[in-house]
Structure 1
């Protein structure tokens, strides 16, 4: 059961004594009951209205939580940084749980919207909680279980747990011993992790994604139906790639939609009409943001085993004349 009276943001760095810090046990063959009890005691001791003092805490309760930060803020103010986890290491952890969630979603036959919501939940959780004190695998399982309920694609908790264990072990979950791996204590641990996720994200479960503003923007373009179809396909792939990174913590969904449109058109060598499409008020994006997003997405693409772009060319500047990009060899 989720207790809606549990307070606001938890900041383990500031509000919890060392002997009571939130520690979600690592995924093991058997989770110890004492670990679960200790975690339960932590959650039950959370007081109403507790708010962390970190830079990523809630700005103003009346205005709602703030979820978008500059790259500099994300690099310097992460709770994980206080626990000596550097930016590159945090990005590797972010990619690990993102790949984990994507594979869980595939095995559970979840729509991409549900997987995207789980990813945003996880990103926002670790925006305010440290990787050093929270096992990302348990948090990820809790996030995809919660996202299934939010997006009306519900799975039984035991099924979600078994798929998570299967992904973790790299085997088909059907070959695993359900009674051994999916104990009552482990179920309780996931439900408690779900509670902590809800507390950390201020119970803000209504998540917007770039898919809809992207579709609307592409539909407004004065290009052929075939071009729109191809552009949509590539742009959707780029949205999904970006969800595995910090992009949704810096840019709003409609801005990401503009960024992936720009990069997709560049990759397809497609000129979009009107040439000033990115100036549409509903996209609310500028040239500097387009360049920053495209640079980041290109970097992610370079790291992919199946890159979509020719990386002999690098984006240097963005011209306001359509999608012309000044490249260098």
Structure 2
């Protein structure tokens, strides 16, 4: 695998063709499913512990980076997810005890949604596992644990918007915030800069609300120049996010998509997308150009949140992993921005 740069950007061709899991015989489609199932577990555990979204994003980034350097066949996705949560809590100074993380991991690993897991032996097993995995993950990540995330870029941009009613601004920011949240279900953070992901979320949210993005009158900058984003990279990122909302169940995939493991395997962007993004810097209202994104409570979340299963650290069959369990409802699932994370002034 080609060496990654100091800012941890990976070559997407390596993800498609040359991850450790791929070298161990796992197909791209299988890895994508396994990665997503592990992320659902990470989210369910985090929401259960009321962990802030900023810390969840850090844990998700650790998880995605780790599995670009290590194989899913050699490390269980749930164990790594649990250890990433604890490591992120320490990095972001989010106070959660290892006993809390272990108990929540045990709860969702066994699909037991009762308030407390009473099997102390199972909780102790998770505690030992997380203690063992956490330093290994930190070492694999070269102890480079500070993560730049798209949220600050989004909030800084929102503060530049003038002449927009505060409730509209809040709704727009919540839409974009939720889209950023959703992006962590995929390994997008490995290939795109935080500025690009934030800009893509801004663009999609603006389309959903028919919100006009214009040239900043104070400095004459186009909106994507304010976020320091390359328009071509922005177009690719927008398409990847929209594709992630349209991923069908594996059994409904065409043979070509099943083989390539992507709705858009060529990585090309809608021919008109870059031009439309450029035009969004004018006074023309943005319209939804490619797909209608349905919303729930104003924000769409693309995946259900099944409670995962695990049996003594043994990976269940793929079919079992894809079974739907009880959905965990949480404000984070709807992309709600905590009061201390957002101040529009």
Shorter-chain TM band? 0.7 to 0.9
1:118 to 2:59 alignment: yes
Stretches of structure 1 lacking an aligned partner (at least 5 in a row): 1-53, 60-64, 306-313
Match for 1:133 among 74, 80, 84?
Answer: 74
Task: Return the match for 1:286 from 193, 212, 230.
Answer: 230
Listed one character per residue, the Cα deviations across residues 199-233 of structure 1 (whole Å, up to 9, x for unaligned) are 11110111111111111012112340333222101
In the alignment, structure 1 residue 156 sits paired with structure 2 residue 103? no
> For residue 302 of structure 1, what is the aligned residue in structure 2?
246
Query: Match for residue 134 of structure 2?
Result: 194
TM-score by length of 1: 0.72
Change (3 A) 1:174 1:83: same
Equivalences for residues 1-329 of structure 1 within 5 A: 54-56=1-3, 65-172=6-113, 174-183=115-124, 186-225=126-165, 226-274=167-215, 276-280=222-226, 283-303=227-247, 316-318=272-274, 319=276, 320-322=278-280, 324=286, 327=289
**Contact in 2 for aligned 1:317/1:326 (Cα 8 Å):** no
Q: Is the 8 A contact 1:115 1:144 kept in 2?
A: yes
CA contact (8 A) 2:158 2:169 kept: yes
Q: Alpha-carbon deviation of 1:123?
A: 0.6
Which residue of structure 2 aligns with residue 20 of structure 1?
Answer: none
The answer (yes or no) to whether the contact 1:163–1:173 under 8 Å persists in 2 is no
Mean alpha-carbon deviation: is it higher for 165-174 or for 252-261? 165-174
- The number of residues matched between the two structures is 259
Confirm or deny: 8 A CA contact 2:8 2:190 kept in the other structure: yes
Q: Which of 316-325 and 141-150 deviates more?
A: 316-325
Residues 115, 147 of structure 1: 8 Å contact kept: yes
**Cα contact 2:105–2:126 (8 A) shared by 1:** no
In structure 2, the gaps of 5 or more residues are 217-221, 250-269, 292-345
Question: How far apart are residue 251 of structure 1 and its match?
Answer: 0.9
Aligned-residue CA RMSD in angstroms? 2.4
Does the 8 Å contact 2:208/2:288 carry over to 1?
no
Partner secondary structure for residue 202 of structure 1: coil
Q: 1:95 to 1:223 in 2, by over 3 A?
A: farther
Taking structure 2 as the reference length, the TM-score comes to 0.69
Structure possessing the higher radius of gyration over alpha carbons: 1
8 Å contact kept, 1:141–1:164: yes
Q: Partner of 1:42 in structure 2?
A: none
Superposed displacement of residue 303, structure 1: 4.1
Change (3 A) 1:326 1:102: closer
Q: Give structure 1 regions of 4+ aligned residues with deviation exceeding 3 angstroms.
A: 323-329
Indicate if the aligned counterparts of 2:150 and 2:197 stay in contact, CA closer than 8 A. yes
